[in-house]
């Protein structure tokens, strides 16, 4: 039975990945040539010596924080289990009330407090580092407020999901991972849809871009027309990021009625109109190529093998260590900690796959953006390279990140590669067809 489940799950995942690869489209000959050039170029993005030393120091700290953060959660959960703290927190929740809903929310709250307390030093370290290097201007009070809001959201939403999970585990103990996958996937879709309306405004202030900079909207509408799309001004937003950050960014979020393009006010302040057009065209590429829907679909598909592996791993651990941890099974509140431990480990091990896919999507959006502004900005190659240079300089990006770290953790191609590719990609010079705007 286990073998059959494994074959079915792996076959399903392979089909999903195959469909995703087909949706992204293979590189054209011109694109592949530019990619080879960009992979070898070392001059497209450089920094002066003093700034380079600062970027390299920040890069070392960032790698330490990211790697530590990756192992921190599994280590914290394992510590709660090995010390018997998870069982004691369960006992405290059961003593609190006979009502299972109260027990569930109390247990989730206690476990979250314990885990966040263990993670807090790392979070403080990174915020202190960001302020020290000038990447953040957010005060400690505002930072703590965001931390508290994030905790409240995680507890409220997480508590509801836990109650749903435990109800299914008790009714379908052998196949809970299949039955839970359906509502879990629905939660992912709903979360992506409502996030621009409900969650994002809790942490940042947004306003229509047309209200903040109508001239910029007029220019961006030229890019939209070039793509043959319809992105009305009411779906273009300015985020007041400067209240907390000095970095530059733009992104696309939501889907359907909630889909929108967001540009940070720091990007508008520090970039030229042509560079903003290039950045916007990249985000429009995500919009045009259906990357949000594709990402949501793959995330939902990936939950099924994740839950199945979680079930297998949790049962193995409970058979071996359940008595020592004083946790009888997955239906025990403490079983949630065991399941969370296995899921966190599987998620860490799957990061290279997810991040590799993310880099593919971002590169396709780069290609789309380069083509979308052709004929609109004066020299898209110079503008593209300069936009990535500005982005890298402002964020103190290390021009030569560690290749293993890049492969495992980076969600975007390196700034150096993106700048070099923007400079080299030019299908029009030889009369070749562009990838997305072929006649």
Contact criterion met (CB below 8 Å) for 327 and 334: yes
pLDDT beneath 50: ranges in the chain: 1-12, 14-15, 19, 22
- Helix (H/G/I), strand (E/B), else coil: 238: strand
Of 419, 423, 397, the closest CA to residue 410 belongs to 397
Rounded to whole angstroms, what are the CA distances from 414 to 38, 164, 385, 390?
10, 41, 13, 14
Q: For residue 22, what pLDDT is reported? A: 46
- The string of DSSP letters for 150-166 reads HHHHHHHHHHHHHHHHH
Residues 6+ apart with CB under 8 A from 30: 425, 426, 427, 430, 432, 434, 435
Q: For residue 25, what pLDDT is reported? A: 62
Q: How many CA atoms lie within 13 A of 277 on its CB side?
A: 28
Q: What's the predicted TM-score (pTM) here? A: 0.89
């Amino acid at each position: 039975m286990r073998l059959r489940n494994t074959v079915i799950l792996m076959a399903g995942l392979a089909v999903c990945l195959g469909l995703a690869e087909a949706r992204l489209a293979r590189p054209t000959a011109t694109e592949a040539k530019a990619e080879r050039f960009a992979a070898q170029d070392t001059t497209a993005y450089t920094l002066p010596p003093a700034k380079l030393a600062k970027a390299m120091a920040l890069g070392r700290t960032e790698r330490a924080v990211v790697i530590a953060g990756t192992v921190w959660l599994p280590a914290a959960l394992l510590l709660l289990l090995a010390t018997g703290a998870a069982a004691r927190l369960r006992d405290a929740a059961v003593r609190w009330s006979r009502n299972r809903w109260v027990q569930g929310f109390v247990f989730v709250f206690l476990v979250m407090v314990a885990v966040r307390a263990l993670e807090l030093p790392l979070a403080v370290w990174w915020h202190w580092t960001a302020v020290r290097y000038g990447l953040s201007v957010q005060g400690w009070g505002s930072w703590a407020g965001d931390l508290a809001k994030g905790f409240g959201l995680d507890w409220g939403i997480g508590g509801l999901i836990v109650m749903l999970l435990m109800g299914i585990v008790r009714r379908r103990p052998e196949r809970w991972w299949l039955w839970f996958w359906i509502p879990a996937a629905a939660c992912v879709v709903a979360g992506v849809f409502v996030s621009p309306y409900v969650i994002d405004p809790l942490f940042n202030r947004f306003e229509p871009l047309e209200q903040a900079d109508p001239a910029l909207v007029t220019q961006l509408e030229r890019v939209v027309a070039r793509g043959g799309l319809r992105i009305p001004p009411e779906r273009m937003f300015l985020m007041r990021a400067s209240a907390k950050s000095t970095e530059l960014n733009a992104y696309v979020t939501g889907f359907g009625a909630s889909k929108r393009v967001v540009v940070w006010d720091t990007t508008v302040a520090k970039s030229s109109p042509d560079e903003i057009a290039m950045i916007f065209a990249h985000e429009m590429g995500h919009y045009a190529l259906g990357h949000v829907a594709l990402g949501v679909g793959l995330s939902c598909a990936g939950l099924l093998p994740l839950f199945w592996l979680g079930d297998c791993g949790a049962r193995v651990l409970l058979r071996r260590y359940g008595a020592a941890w004083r946790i009888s099974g997955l239906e025990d509140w403490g079983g949630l900690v065991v399941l969370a431990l296995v899921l966190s480990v599987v998620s860490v091990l799957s990061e290279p796959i997810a991040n590799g896919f993310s880099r593919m999507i971002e590169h396709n959006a780069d290609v789309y953006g380069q083509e979308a502004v052709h004929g609109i900005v004066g020299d898209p190659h110079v503008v593209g390279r300069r936009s990535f240079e500005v982005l890298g300089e402002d964020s103190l990006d290390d021009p030569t990140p560690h290749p293993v770290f890049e492969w495992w953790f980076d969600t975007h191609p390196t700034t150096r590669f993106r700048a070099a590719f923007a400079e080299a990609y030019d299908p029009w010079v030889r009369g070749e067809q562009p990838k997305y705007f072929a006649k």
